[in-house]
Amino acid sequence: MKRRAADPIRGKLNLYLFVGVLIAVGAVFGALVVNALSLEQQQSLTDELGAYLGGTSSSAAAPLDVFWERLFFHLKWLGLLWLLGISVVGSPFVLALDFLKGVLIGFAIGLTVRHLAWKGVAVSLAVIAPQNLVVVPALAIASVSAIRFAYYVGRERLFLGRGKLLPPLASHTGATLALFLVLGVAAMWEAFVVPHIVSGLSGWL
């Protein structure tokens, strides 16, 4: 009985580990992609990055506008994970999104380090890392929830023809809604705190 109860827990931990490794591999790949860009592409991106860090970017927006933009971005990503989970057949694409998230983070860090050398490490820790310490675990939890729901529906409902659909659906949906609130905190950080950090670092850079 104890062994049977421990199996779902072990399975969930294995899923978290797999998703975490997938995001980490994506981050490494994203950092390597920076070196694969042409010199013109690298120069264009580093110019934009330099303008942003120097506070002279023409794309600078009001903090409230940035908040809504980031919140909507997180909502789309989270909603897509939820939808892929309930579609069952789309669940493999959950892992593709996790890999893509890692690529985006790795690319941002790789570009920053390439542009600023050792100072880029400090900038990455101050500007990129904090919100992603919230975003990445939240998306990992959403991914595991989506995969487990798809597995339950595929195994219990479609193949074995047993079990109830509503409780796991409510659990998956509730987890997604709770994580959206968590990602709202990350959006607030990106909109209202990160610009001040960038402003404080601009003189040093």
Distances, alpha carbon 8 to alpha carbons 3, 13, 74, 98, 146, in Å: 10, 9, 29, 22, 15
The pLDDT, as a whole number, for residue 143 is 96
The pLDDT, as a whole number, for residue 157 is 67
Distances, alpha carbon 69 to alpha carbons 66, 73, 109, 187, in Å: 5, 6, 21, 8
The pLDDT, as a whole number, for residue 109 is 93
The Cα–Cα gap between 70 and 99 comes to: 20
The pLDDT, as a whole number, for residue 54 is 67
CA atoms within 13 A on the CB side of 176: 24
The pLDDT, as a whole number, for residue 27 is 96
The Cα–Cα gap between 164 and 149 comes to: 12
Domain count of the chain? 1
The pLDDT, as a whole number, for residue 9 is 54
The pLDDT, as a whole number, for residue 149 is 93
The pLDDT, as a whole number, for residue 6 is 45
The Cα–Cα gap between 85 and 76 comes to: 14
Angle between helix 63-87 and 166-188 (nearest 10): 160
Cβ proximity of 138 and 149 under 8 Å: no
Predicted structure pTM score: 0.86
Of 25, 40, 172, 51, residue with least CA distance to 105: 25
Structural domain for 100, as ranges: 2-202
The Cα–Cα gap between 109 and 103 comes to: 10
Of 93, 108, 77, 87, residue with least CA distance to 186: 77
The pLDDT, as a whole number, for residue 202 is 76
Locus of tokens 């919140």 = 71
The pLDDT, as a whole number, for residue 7 is 47
The pLDDT, as a whole number, for residue 5 is 39
Q: What does pLDDT average to in each consecutive run of 10 residues of the chain (205 residues)?
A: 48 89 96 87 80 61 90 95 93 95 95 87 91 95 94 77 81 94 95 89 72
Q: Which helix (H) or strand (E) holds 175?
A: helix 166-188
Helix, strand, or coil (residue 88):
coil
